[in-house]
Structure 1
């Protein structure tokens, strides 16, 4: 029985320092997969760098949710894999094909942070444990879902933040997520730039506020310090 096909959907905005390397890695490890890059009107040379290695390049409305929905709309794979530009799979096509052959409906992968400090090992363990217990993954863990499920009223909601959490909540009502025993390495730059403990406190506070009903637009303003 043939392994299911899959499409990588990669939303980008000013990711010229990461996108070319990521696409080269995907082409090498997953040569038969679609590599769909959706740019949100970057003002650097992200588009030029992406053209070299993607199979499809789209330019659309800025906003991760809208960009991922646009990319998914042209994907032909049986599975949609939503990958951030500063993350990369630490596995190859045979390993992924063997996992997807089990027929999971949706889920996410194990997270590893790129930083070498001990605090990042503790942090990634906490994130992986939290996502397993809650059934809610984040975009850093490369969410995946079958294209047929995504097309039946399971697109990303038009939110400026927490679009990954909101989608997982809806999918969780349908079935429990499958957590792949495969690693996604994600850049630790956010924690390194903002400070580890400050970022941890901020992200947990934002997730709690979202759970309590604070609008995502308001949380976006708090996170980025400007109007959505």
Structure 2
């Protein structure tokens, strides 16, 4: 496995301020291709993505649908789903490839990366530790941990579902039924705007509430209304 075997898929909606950084980070990692799936941006997201070298397609709005459309167009043996306001360290893909090479069952390789939330404060460092532990102990990476998966396994579980919210959790749950995820010891950088807008504690409690409601069977459509 080599970094060129990765197709990086990014869903966008009005991400003109962030998308070039995300795309460029993937190319610095030597990804084979970057696919931006735009959900109808009203700003210059699409133009910036094209200038940055990404393949750009359009889709119905909604992260789940957009990621699914991007994966359908991807050619790589590995898929990596990157948030538009996140960016990869240069060694992310080479580190993932090294781990792949020592896997006893290479058809089941998937997982996520360690995070660096780009803000100062102990609360953010605790979030990073907790999110890494979630992969190790619960086998559930979230989308802002840059979920990657071997294409063959992705197809077995039916891919990203076209959901308005929780598409990352549903994908991870399906993948976990087949293989436990790998936590790659390389960094995906995370924009802190969600936590800064609402406060770390409030945003974290809100996220837990949505996860609990999802486990109790509340529909993704209703949850997406709450999340806004």
Taking structure 2 as the reference length, what is the TM-score of the superposition? 0.91
Unaligned runs of 5+ residues in structure 1 are none
| C-alpha RMSD over aligned residues | 1.6
Tell me the SS of whatever aligns to 1:174. coil
Which residue of the partner structure matches residue 26 of structure 1? 26
How many residues align? The count is 222
1:130 aligns with 2:134: yes
Tell me the SS of whatever aligns to 1:65. helix
1:6 aligns with 2:16: no
Question: Matched residues in 1 for 2:64 and 2:6: separation?
Answer: 19
1:13-162 aligned within 5 A: 13-30=13-30, 32-92=31-91, 93-102=93-102, 103=106, 105-162=109-166
Question: Matched residues in 2 for 1:140 and 1:21: separation?
Answer: 15
- After superposing the two structures, state which structure 1 stretch, 103-112 or 133-142, moved more: 103-112
Unaligned runs of 5+ residues in structure 2 are none
Tell me the SS of whatever aligns to 2:184. strand
Question: Matched residues in 1 for 2:29 and 2:173: separation?
Answer: 31
After superposing on structure 2, the runs of 4+ consecutive aligned residues of structure 1 that deviate more than 4 Å are none
Retained in 2: the 8 A contact 1:37–1:54? no
Aligned-pair CA distance for 1:185: 1.1
Question: Matched residues in 1 for 2:122 and 2:95: separation?
Answer: 28
Which residue of the partner structure matches residue 193 of structure 1? 197
User: 1:25–1:144: structure 2 CA closer, same or farther, 3 Å change rule?
Assistant: closer
Tell me the SS of whatever aligns to 1:129. helix
Retained in 2: the 8 A contact 1:3–1:100? no
